[in-house]
Amino acid sequence: MQPMQFRWIRLALLAAAPCIAGCAALQPEPRFARSEPPPERTVPSSPSKRLPTWQTRLALELRRYLGSPYVWGGTSPAGVDCSGLVVAVYGAALGLELPHSVAELYRVGKPVERHGLKVGDLVFFRSRPASREPDHVGVYVGRGLFVHASPSEGVTVSELSRRGFQDGWAGARRLSIAPEGPPVPEGDR
């Protein structure tokens, strides 16, 4: 190499050094990093004096699943589908056995009007308007929010007022509450 070319290469490297060092110092965040949902869209994190004990246990169990990936047929924080989330959280929080099927869950409990929802109610949706049966379920957590396992987002908190959920609303069900214990399916009372 000729001395003049060597100087240009050396000068170019010296000029680029701060840029190279600056880029190397930047640590990009992982593409799918978990982040905490905004405060207005969270599940209660501590027991509330306003909620009955069973609802508090349910809310704490739902919180444990937030951020879990969607896995068809799954029922654990490692991977869960929408009906599997309902089965898992009601089972762990209340010892209740529920069917792992949206259509069967839709027949459990009593129908509830949208304006009368309470924490713990199951909310149902149709992704296809022509469908008679709902194909998605979540758990209402108050303030117009519900927790569900979304195929694209995993377990997340969503607003009932969001257009897709408003348009696809199929109904809600409330599990009956035994005076001394957890909710029981209406037909089992």
- Where do the domains of the chain lie, and which CATH numbers do they carry? 52-177+184-188 (3.90.1720.10)
Q: What are 116-150's pLDDT values in tens digits? A: 999 999 999 999 878 889 999 999 999 999 999 99
Catalytic residue flag (residue 82): yes
* Cα–Cα distance, 156 to 158 (Å, whole number): 6
pTM of structure: 0.69
Q: What are 61-71's pLDDT values in tens digits? A: 999 999 999 99
Average pLDDT over residues 100-127: 96
* Cα–Cα distance, 83 to 136 (Å, whole number): 7
| Alpha helix positions (H), the chain | 3-25, 53-65, 82-94, 102-105, 163-167
Catalytic residue flag (residue 148): yes
Pick the catalytic residue from 23, 100, 115, 148: 148
Q: What are 47-58's pLDDT values in tens digits? A: 455 656 888 999
pLDDT score of 12: 42
